[in-house]
A = this chain, B = another copy of it.
Amino acid sequence: MPNRITLHTIAEAANVSVATVSKALNDTGQLSAHTRRVVLNTAKELGYEKSKGAIALRHQSGLIGLVSADLEGRFSMPALIGAENTLGASNHAVLLTNSRGDPKLERAHIDQLAARGVDGLLILGGETDSRPPVKPNTALGIPIVYAYAPSNDPDDCSVTCDNTAAGAAAINHLIDRGCSRIAIISGPEHYLATKERIDGAMAALRKSGMRPAAPTRYGNWHESWGRTAARLLLDSGARFDGIYCLNDMLARGAIETLLARGLKVPQDVAVVGHDNWAVTATECQVPITSFDNNLQEIGRRAARLLLDSIRGNRHRGVMKIGCSLIVRESTLTKPR
């Protein structure tokens, strides 16, 4: 059945200009949310169907709801900045809520955001472990993209960092610097980030015909564990000339122990961390080579996928953004 409703028909019915109708239907130009809604509702009531494309005749508020699970903001703020850059450039605004990792609070926030007519939801996690998807009766069909913490439903769209590749790159970098006996100091075993970084590291060691210089030491993510783990490694009699620490705080603690025992970093032992967190990686006596999670890029990419989804091009699966190696003094010269 041919589409007989024209922009003129809608303009007359909504008592606006044809240009305004065009702007509202194509989601371009400067229109108030109210006018846009009136035009889209009128078009819908008249049974108007766009001849091309798949733009749903949902009224658009230009608002994106961002639900952050991260209280401290260490991981979420850079992703938020990246998302806001992208959304702002496409004339969207960010409604921010903080769920403090509480699923009930997350549901309540999403309810409120839906009531405000957000066009899409960006769900930002505080770690890379996957999470249950937002329930359909909470999301009400609003497009969603998950950032940093991916959804465990493969049908959802998520953006996170590539921890496996970072683990491999850490080992390869230490080998490039001349290390031949590499030990690993890790955080808690149950994190997906831990598992992936270790998997990547082990694969890289195997590929170079190496084995770890000592069994991987698992503990927490704190500097004090880095200090202790390095002491345990030294006391075990294991010989090593490189340590891959799974975050910068562990690296900082390990370096403190190495220096206190009279060893030189990187001449005797080279050390790599992860997170590229300015204060920890750069403020200590030997600045730490580290991996940047490119959180701003994760935020930007997630925002772009969300905008695409709002325009009707839904994406599926987990997109992984590479971590960048930032070389500092802790690996700057070859050991021995």
A residues with CB within 8 A of B: 30, 32-34, 62-63, 66, 71-74, 76-78, 80-81, 84, 88, 93-98, 112-113, 115-116, 222-224, 227, 249, 256, 278-280, 283-285
**Beta-carbon contact of B77 and A73 below 8 Å:** yes
The 8 Å CB contact of A95, one of B32, B95, B222, B279, is B95
Q: How far is the CB of A217 from chain B (nearest CB, A)?
A: 18
**Contacts known (A93-B112, A116-B33, A280-B279); A98 close to B84, Cβ less than 8 A:** yes
**Beta-carbon contact of A97 and B97 below 8 Å:** no
**Contacts known (A223-B284, A279-B249, A279-B279); A80 close to B96, Cβ less than 8 A:** yes
**Beta-carbon contact of A283 and B222 below 8 Å:** yes
**Cα separation A77 to B97 with both chains bound (whole Å):** 12
Q: How many copies does the complex hold?
A: 2
**Beta-carbon contact of B81 and A71 below 8 Å:** yes
**Cβ contacts under 8 Å, A278 to chain B:** 72
Beyond the given A94-B97, A227-B285, please list 11 additional residue pairs across the A-B interface where CB-CB is below 8 A. Answer: A30-B115, A33-B116, A62-B116, A72-B278, A73-B76, A80-B98, A88-B112, A93-B112, A222-B283, A249-B279, A249-B283
**Beta-carbon contact of A93 and B84 below 8 Å:** no
Q: How far is the CB of A30 from chain B (nearest CB, A)?
A: 8
**Contacts known (A73-B73, A283-B223); A93 close to B97, Cβ less than 8 A:** yes
Looking across the interface, which residue of chain B has its beta carbon closest to that of A105?
B88
**Contacts known (A72-B77, A223-B284); A96 close to B94, Cβ less than 8 A:** yes
**Cβ contacts under 8 Å, A77 to chain B:** 72-73, 77
**Cα separation A112 to B93 with both chains bound (whole Å):** 9
The 8 Å CB contact of A224, one of B76, B84, B256, B283, is B283
**Cβ contacts under 8 Å, A113 to chain B:** 93
**Beta-carbon contact of A84 and B97 below 8 Å:** yes
